[in-house]
A and B are shown apart, each in its own frame.
Chain A
Amino acid sequence: MMAAVPAGAPAGLDARPVYELRNVTKVFPKRNVHALDRVDLTLTQGSFASVIGASGCGKSTLLKIMAGLLPPSSGSVRLAGSQVSGPRRDIGMMFQQATLFPWRTTMENVVLPIEIRDGKAAANAKHDAAAALLELVGLKDFANAFPNELSGGMAQRAAICRMLITEPAVLLLDEPFSALDELTRDFMNMEMQRICMACNATSFLVTHSIQEAVILSDVVYVMSPRPGRFVEAVAVDLPRPRTLDMITTPRFGALVDRIRNRLDRGAFL
């Protein structure tokens, strides 16, 4: 049976639930795959949660359901009090690839979600807000540059701005920095923490990296495959803001070990 998963509200934060999944199950009848089994998840305002698990454990399915790209077979998916039944502007998403469009300047890429939802005039009206976001991520001078002038890390910063421009209630991060080299990745993770704290964002990260999950998260959900379910929620009690130095502390090591043990067992259950 599934271990009882406590809703991870980090101490000291406003514990208002933003995103709630109750008993979410997903079955693909055609392929006879039981992708998700009774997943419960609560994201509270300003918290950062991660899900970690081996490839094929249902992480992507979970994220697609949370993004409104895929309907659950059963269970309830509620964001800010209303059922998620499709893509929504209050869901911000980021992928492994920045996917900036080369014929648009950085600024035009950032306001693209507004242009799609509200038209060009509304997008133009958002240029000031976009400029503020670009400044927040350190791309102020690249607003009018084209994406082929940006490095991989810079492109992902622009993608962060594009995700934030609609002022989403929740950020869904699908291995956002895993295509970057390790040095850039560490740096971008620290940037992500800074940006999330600055915006008091509620974030949900899917990752393969235990270290990345621990350094960023308040709670790490360990997922096991076939069917995909949470086997444990590990609360990370390291103080914020986190720094890369913490990676060498015994507490960090203990958390990593604990997650790794859960993953190993989960994979062979």
Chain B
Amino acid sequence: MTPTHAQPAASSADTVWTEPVSLIDRIPRSIAMIAMFIAFVAIWQLVVLSGLVSPIILASPKETLEQIVFVGHNLLIGDYMLGALWITTKEVIYSFALAIAIGFSLGVMVGETGFGERALMPYLVAIDTMPKIAFAPLFIAWLGFDIHSKVALATFVAVFPIVVGTAAGLHAADENARLLFKTMGASRLQTLFKMKLPTGLPHFFTGLKIASVGVMAGAITGEFLGGGKGFGELIRVAASQLDTARVFSLIIYLSLLGLATFGAVVWVQRRFVFWQKSSVGGNALT
């Protein structure tokens, strides 16, 4: 709207009215993230310099950086740390694959059949409310100190979000879609594969993302409690030697494995659920 007749003299008022934006709101994300990181390291350094915390408990940023370089070098030349990381990676891959297979099957049973929902769901909910990490000693007792007990624990931790995601996904189709498939004379399998499963994919992937975090937690906990030759064991040894700088650096490399797992799920989701607009963005777990 141009108020020409109301203010004929105000020709200089042609500039577009803009909402004031504060300087802070204009900072781009990358700059903001770097600034936050610098502030974090600065506070860390200050705490170390102040002498309030013993250097044995909190390593300085410099020591940590040295350890990051050391561990990175060890990984790059393929020394024992790379072997340990590979063992943990294998545990994560095996248990994630197992969790997907078992979780999806159970999810379809619970979500698609009334019997599964009545017979299985109460047990699944009951087990899901238990602290699953507490089962670690049992798995070690049953399966030994080798990779198997870690895979079992990680699978156990990761399977429930996938069951829930799959079952919720199968219930996500609305009444209209069900009615439409009925009028088309679709069989139960057709309804499942052509409508319910695709409709439920976003829920399934939400479950997968939660599971990808759980699978890491399960594998590392298994290694803490059950020994072996994985990355968790390296962390445990470094911590027992009060080498906090080493612990920090190992965790940072371990988190790369977690990021890779999560990123793989997001990548697959973008390919398969291309119609869902905001697949990651600010809300990573939906």
Contact = CB atoms under 8 A, between A and B. Distances in A.
B275 interface: yes
A172 to B, nearest CB: 8
B195 A101 contact: yes
Q: How large is the interface on B (under 10, 10 to 19, 20 to 34, 35 or more residues)?
A: 20 to 34
Contact of A99 (B176, B186, B198): B176
Contact of B179 (A95, A101, A102, A148): A95
A95 B180 CA distance: 8
Nearest to A92: B183
B185 A87 contact: yes
Interface in A82-108: 86-89, 91, 93, 95-97, 99, 101-103
Contacts of B274: 103
A160 to B, nearest CB: 13
Interface in B262-278: 273-277
Interface of B, secondary structure class, is helix
Interface stretch (A73-81, A111-119, A127-135, A254-262): A111-119
A211 to B, nearest CB: 25
A69 interface: yes
A88 B183 CA distance: 7
A146 B275 CA distance: 8
A20 B177 CA distance: 28
B275 A103 contact: yes
Nearest to B198: A103
B176 A116 contact: no
A86 B277 CA distance: 38
Interface in B244-286: 273-277
B194 interface: yes
A41 interface: no
A68 B182 CA distance: 9
Nearest to A96: B176
A116 B275 contact: no
Nearest to B201: A103
A69 B275 CA distance: 31
A83 to B, nearest CB: 16
A88 B198 contact: no
Contacts of B273: 103
Contacts of B174: 97, 99
A249 B106 CA distance: 63
A67 B176 contact: no
Interface in B186-238: 186, 190, 194-195, 198-199
A91 B183 contact: yes
A147 B184 CA distance: 20
A117 B186 CA distance: 7
B181 interface: yes
Contact of A86 (B185, B275, B276): B185
3 nearest A-B pairs in the assembled complex, by CB-CB distance: A102-B275, A87-B185, A99-B176
23 contacts: A86-B185, A87-B182, A87-B183, A87-B184, A87-B185, A88-B185, A95-B176, A95-B179, A96-B176, A97-B174, A99-B174, A99-B180, A101-B195, A102-B276, A103-B273, A103-B274, A103-B275, A116-B185, A116-B190, A117-B184, A117-B185, A147-B275, A148-B275
Given A87-B182, A103-B275, 5 more contacts: A69-B182, A87-B185, A101-B198, A102-B276, A115-B194
